[in-house]
Structure 1
Amino acid sequence: MSDITRLGFLGLGNMGAAIALRLVHPGSTLHVFDPSPEAVRPLVEAGAIAHASPRAVAEAATVVMACLPNSAVCESVLFGEDGVAAGKAVRTYIEMSTLGPTVVASNAKRLDAAKIASIDAPVSGGPAAAHAGTLSIMLSGNDDVVATTMPWLTLIAKKICRLGEQPGQAQAMKLVNNIMLAANMAVASEALTIGAKAGLDADAMIEVIRSSTGNSAAADILARFAICGAFDFGAHISIVAKDVELAIDEAKALDVPVPVLNEARSLWHDAIEQGLGGDDFTSILKIVEARGGATVRGAPRR
């Protein structure tokens, strides 16, 4: 499998837990931490060893992966008093969170000072793909370091795209992907609401879209998780809104005007202002429906 037999994982939310479960593997030991005992329990039942802090994981594992919600949490996890950087065993840190190029590049330099190599490896595909081991990984980092971790990364991903040797490059790609989805979710929700108010059947609209030029990942996600009434993709509105803000900050730093993205941002920002940050991100359709005075619902999921 790999010379790495002591692996760590930090952050057991919807995505992190699904990824970590796939890393429980014969012949190796998975060490985990999350502040929520409920999040840790299924991993322990599967065979992982729970620890009281990120530092404790980094004292036990030579490679530590993390899937964290934002840069503030990551700062504490890496560089707090009980953070990864203080661990004596860890040699490689794999960042699977979406934090933006600037933060990840800076963190990599700080970890390097502690003699810990960094791999930038944000993921895409959602919790279902994480459970199935069919995620896409955007990857940047030193080739030799990456090579040592590939046997583990292939357990969780169907597609691994190498984007360079510098941590931060994969983050840039992740933002490119995520803002395309965020903007497309907004306009797809508006388009479907227009159609519904014009009297079109929701399932009929999806049938046409799927065989026409308007098809997109956003339309497919809305069809499978929202129009059926489930709203259960598994990612929160707050995560998408955070990624949009990261992308706008990056665009400003690069002096790239993003008027369309700013318009899409207003919808996600309104959702946060309405207290809906914890709702599934497919619920963005409900906000557009309320604005437009129409409901886009098809047959329930079978």
Structure 2
Amino acid sequence: MTQNQKIAAIGLGSMGYGIAQSALRGGHRVWGVDINAEQMQRFVDEGGQSDALADVAAELDAVIVAVLNAPQTEDVLFGAHGIVDQLRNGAAVLSCATVPPEFAKDMAARCAERGVHYLDAPISGGAVKAANGALSIMAAGKPEAFNALRPVLDAIAETVFELGDEAGAGSAMKAVNQLLAGVHIATMAEAMTFGMTQGVTPDKFIEVISKCAGTSWMLENRAPHIAAGDYTPHSSVNIWPKDLGIVLDIAKNAQFSAPITAAALQQFVAAAGMGFGAQDDAAVAKVYARNAGLTLPGEDGKG
């Protein structure tokens, strides 16, 4: 196995673009693929390969799939123009989307039938860490999949948690992480807006709470977006009805009650319903602000 691999990075969104950049910086030849032609051209301009993916698919060592959800992942792998049937025997797929564990197991089995390795490898860390090659990856799959993808993992991740040799374990761990992450964002928004009703400004909230026991990584990362009135989507509101929905589906199948997750989910659903779905997920604070008659920084009072 050569260290410098030929890699397709499919999905050049806020996370996928950074992953593709990190793979490129790691010395690999990388083809960036997205439905957004401008993103693809931008990547070519930064050093990505310009050939059509179909012309090189049979030569690829690895495919990184960083799309939004399970249906998109399945379409990329096995749809009308699915990549798996174009890959050589022994090539490997790194699947990064948040998906149900059973879906990951199914994808791994279908890839194996075609002689392709599959690593169930959801990611955490945000767009900045993706661009810096510093992601945390919750990975599960056969040892052969880990071996085939080691050069890719070395380029894009700071920490790789190896969670077993069966696909699904990575996605299960990601669901646990997303439960906490989504709840922390919604709770941060609730606490910040609650503070505003008591005369605590967003800036003062961040200054004090980030140094106290009530803080979290999500609070420290997202609360400044609210204080700045900047909802440029690093991670959008729309991600959370999907991800927390996956958590609740898994919980239902396990006959496990997750009431706090359900409450957080409803706040993201409300935010999307108010038209904030494409904004940064910190915009869930606008639900609380509107209900309490508060004006957030950068807002005109109309939300």
Would you say same fold, with TM above 0.5?
Answer: yes
Q: Which residue of 2 aligns with 1:220?
A: 220
When the two chains are superposed, the root-mean-square deviation of aligned CA atoms in Å is: 2.1
Percent identical residues: 28
User: Aligned partner of 1:104: which letter?
Assistant: A
**Could you list the runs of 5+ residues in structure 2 that have no partner in the other structure?**
299-303
1:36-61 CA distance string (max 9 Å, x none): 111101211122224556x5563231
Note if contact 1:31-1:49 (Cα within 8 Å) is conserved in structure 2.
Answer: yes
> Tell me, what secondary structure is at the counterpart of 1:226?
helix
Residue matched to 2:85: 86
Quote the Cα distance in structure 2 between the aligned partners of 1:234 and 1:177. 18
Q: Is the 8 A contact 2:236 2:278 kept in 1?
A: yes
Secondary structure of the equivalent of 1:274? Answer: helix
1:60 matched to 2:59? The reply is: yes
Distance 2:35 2:204 in 1: 45
The alignment partner of 1:166 has SS state of: coil
* SS, match of residue 86 in structure 1: helix
Structure 1 residues 26, 144: CA separation in 2 closer, same or farther (over 3 Å shift)? Answer: closer
Q: Is the 8 A contact 1:104 1:120 kept in 2?
A: yes
Alpha-carbon distance in 2 for matches of 1:219, 1:197: 19
Q: Distance in 1 between matches of 2:171 and 2:79?
A: 23
Matches of 1:191 and 1:219 in 2, distance apart? 10
CA distance in 2 between counterparts of 1:151 and 1:79 reads 25
What does residue range 88-127 of structure 1 map to in structure 2 within 5 Å? Answer: 88-89=87-88, 91-127=91-127
Q: Answer yes or no: is the 8 Å Cα contact 2:60–2:87 preserved in 1.
A: no
Matched-pair contact (CA < 8 Å) for 1:238–1:278: yes
Is the 8 Å Cα contact of residues 193 and 295 (structure 1) preserved in structure 2?
no
1:207 aligns to 2:204 (yes or no): no
**Structure 1 pair 209/92, CA: closer, same or farther in 2 (3 Å)?**
same
Cα shift at 1:152: 2.1
Paired residue secondary structure (2:24): coil
**Does the CA contact (< 8 Å) of 2:88 and 2:116 recur in 1?**
no
Q: Quote the offset at 1:104 in angstroms.
A: 1.1
Structure 1 length-normalised TM = 0.91
1:45 corresponding residue in structure 2 = 45
Asked whether the equivalents of residues 189 and 223 of structure 2 are also in contact (C-alpha less than 8 Å), the reply is no
SS at match of 2:276: coil
**Alpha-carbon distance in structure 2 between the residues aligned to 1:16 and 1:279:** 18
Instruction: Give 1:203 deviation, angstroms.
Output: 2.0
Question: Separation in 2 of the partners of 1:35 and 1:45?
Answer: 17
Q: CA deviation at 1:106?
A: 0.8
The verdict on how the C-alpha distance between 1:93 and 1:201 changes in structure 2, with shifts beyond 3 A counting, is same
Amino acid in structure 2 at the alignment position of 1:275: G
Deviations 1:151-173 (A, max 9, x none): 32122222211111111111111
Shift of 1:275: 3.0
- 3-state SS in 1 of match to 2:192: helix
Measured in 2, the distance between the counterparts of 1:57 and 1:48 equals: 13
Shift, 1:264, TM fit:
1.1
Please say if residues 25 and 155 of structure 2, whose CA atoms lie closer than 8 Å, have aligned partners that are also in contact. no
SS class of match (1:24): helix
CA distance, structure 2, for counterparts of residue 202 and residue 218 of structure 1: 15
Amino acid at match of 2:66: C
Kindly provide the amino acid, as one letter, of the partner of residue 121 in structure 2. A
Partner of 1:71: 70
Compare 183-192 and 20-29 and name the one that shifted more.
20-29
In structure 2, the partner of 1:30 is 30
TM-score w.r.t. the length of structure 2 is 0.91
Any conservation in 1 of the 2:57–2:83 contact (CA below 8 Å)? yes
CA separation in 2, counterparts of 1:70 and 1:51?
A: 26
Letter in 1 for 2:152: W
Q: Report what 2:289 is aligned to.
A: 289
In structure 1, how many angstroms separate the alpha carbons of the residues matched to 2:10 and 2:217? 29
- The 3 A distance-change label for structure 1 pair 50 and 276 is farther
Return 5+ residue gaps in structure 1 as ranges: none
2:301 match: none
Contact 2:237 2:276 in 1 (8 A): yes
Name the amino acid aligned to 1:268. Answer: F
Change (3 A) 1:50 1:172: farther
Q: By how many angstroms is 1:274 displaced?
A: 2.5
Shift of residue 296 of structure 1? 4.8
SS of structure 2 residue aligned to 1:31: strand
What is the match of residue 143 of structure 1? 143
Superposition deviation, residue 28 in structure 1: 3.7
